[in-house]
Structure 1
């Protein structure tokens, strides 16, 4: 637990292991232009929603959804209980600390794939939830704060339901059968990352998370109202301004593979700030480990051959952890490079 940022006394200066050399720090600041993530209202007509999601996905790869069906109570309770968790005494969380990336429920600092000398300014509570055996998963989650298991279970069930509806809308818009992305490709554990970014004494010298693409199928982020997420866009970075009551949605690498590149998994990063702690909850819709994933036949032709190899999700994860998050901060977003390593 001594490695956890939030458990240490307030930092007067940035510890040396978090300071990046100048050539590894991002040179581009978030754009000041009037570019923002599209906002999709899921209460509108189905045809209109399908078009909006596809347009947003193709243009930026990220969008925010409102009127999405996840109750405001579930969202507020999740925010509250996660903040309460990080305020617990260190002894109440010590048994959860682990650097074993195979452990389903744990807390850790920085990222799962640290291979360089520098660390990232983040603590994370990782929770995994199997469907439909949600109750069995909850038994492994922390029992403090008292309401955590109940709140996380309700939030996860509702958020996964939202994710599956977005996937159905995408399938319809792409001309696939509505349930094409159901089954093993979305049937793995739903993984939650409760990300906690404490106030940082020198935000210009470090990052909360490096530029990366998500390796899963679909991500839904419950954002803090404290900005920090930035999205790559046309050689620049968009600073995401969260909308109250909205989820931020982005496509994972597996969705790019299935659509043979029609939809893109877009690079994003997290910046730190000087004065305020920031807590977010990322919900990852994951394939099963042995799911074989490749471009759908519907997107292939003599003029449009496969851009990606067909791999099991386990093989993809193994290579991703080496290639996508190596010691360099200039991370490649080319999935072909990941697959060439096999």
Structure 2
């Protein structure tokens, strides 16, 4: 508990251990809000034109690796309720949060300051609650007991997000030209993991980061964020802020999907910055394969002779990739470098 930022009341200065090296700091320069990130509206004409919908999603995944999805079918009330209940959790007294606070990465549901706090050269300005969600009946009993409605609200939300994620992957499957049902393979989409990140107010946001530059290691991420801005994506070497869109999901491609698509889709780099006078909470839901699932470029995307369209990455077991991803993240090595094939 003592490592959580919220346990340090009335901080007037950023502790030295949270000060990011100068070359990685967000600084005081104003980052433009990225109003041109694709916004895909499922309702209306687009919703009835599947081919056009697939085209828009594929274009966004190729050019940005990100898009915002509106009129997606998840109720506004449920989205409001889930943000409300997770904020209630972070506002609980320390004694109520202590039971779920853990530094053991093997604990199913845990609240923590960082993945590897003691090994980090610098700490990040956030607190994270992480737990698996699918299948719900196997995990819900390990979730927080407080607030009292947490399990009911988050359970309903996770089920809706899982359904929406599989639908999106079905459209991406179509856009890539895969056989129908490619992502319905149980091993490829077996797991759903929720990361709830809470970024308390920071005395000097120019010195800190909530999350460092990274790409997600999974297939697909659906992010629900509050009206407070904080998400930034790297586009053509420039950091651009993703303007919060009420009741929208921010959808982004993970590196696993980039590999399966043989580089056709982009697992874009992104980060989270902090705010001085207001807290921010976001809920990221990862869809990812089973640990023993074999990952590699889909063969149907490669030419028969492999000279005009060679595989860009070698195949691997997902569990090996995950362990190397954590190591690479700690060492600031691009997570895909060791899997690229050199020609």
TM range (shorter): over 0.9
TM-superposed deviation, 1:185: 4.3
Deviations 1:216-257 (A, max 9, x none): 110000011100000010111110001101000001111001
TM-superposed deviation, 1:137: 1.1
Residue 206 (1) aligns with residue 208 (2): yes
Q: Aligned partners of 1:156 and 1:33: how far apart in 2? A: 28
Q: Unaligned stretches of 5+ in structure 2?
A: none
Q: 2:324 aligns with which of 302, 319, 323?
A: 319
Residue correspondence of structure 1 range 135-154 to structure 2 within 5 A: 135-154=137-156
Residue aligning to 2:288: 286
Change (3 A) 1:319 1:267: same
Residue 226 (1) aligns with residue 228 (2): yes
Q: 1:304 aligns with which of 309, 316, 321?
A: 309
Q: Aligned partners of 1:110 and 1:58: how far apart in 2? A: 31
Residue 102 (1) aligns with residue 106 (2): yes
Contact 1:58–1:263 (CA under 8 A) maintained in structure 2: yes
Q: Aligned partners of 2:248 and 2:233: how far apart in 1? A: 17
Change (3 A) 1:35 1:166: same
Contact 1:168–1:181 (CA under 8 A) maintained in structure 2: yes
TM-superposed deviation, 1:31: 4.8
Q: Aligned partners of 1:28 and 1:222: how far apart in 2? A: 26
Residue correspondence of structure 1 range 105-184 to structure 2 within 5 A: 105-112=109-116, 115-131=119-135, 134-184=136-186
Contact 1:28–1:237 (CA under 8 A) maintained in structure 2: no
Residue correspondence of structure 1 range 38-77 to structure 2 within 5 A: 38-43=38-43, 44=47, 45-77=49-81
Contact 1:110–1:121 (CA under 8 A) maintained in structure 2: no
Change (3 A) 1:138 1:337: same
Count of paired positions: 334
Q: Aligned partners of 2:117 and 2:16: how far apart in 1? A: 19
Q: Aligned partners of 2:84 and 2:231: how far apart in 1? A: 20
Contact 2:124–2:209 (CA under 8 A) maintained in structure 1: yes
Residue 32 (1) aligns with residue 32 (2): yes
Contact 1:36–1:241 (CA under 8 A) maintained in structure 2: no
Change (3 A) 1:73 1:241: same
Q: What TM-score do the two structures reach when normalised by structure 2?
A: 0.92
Q: Could you tell which deviates more after superposition, 109-118 or 46-55?
A: 109-118
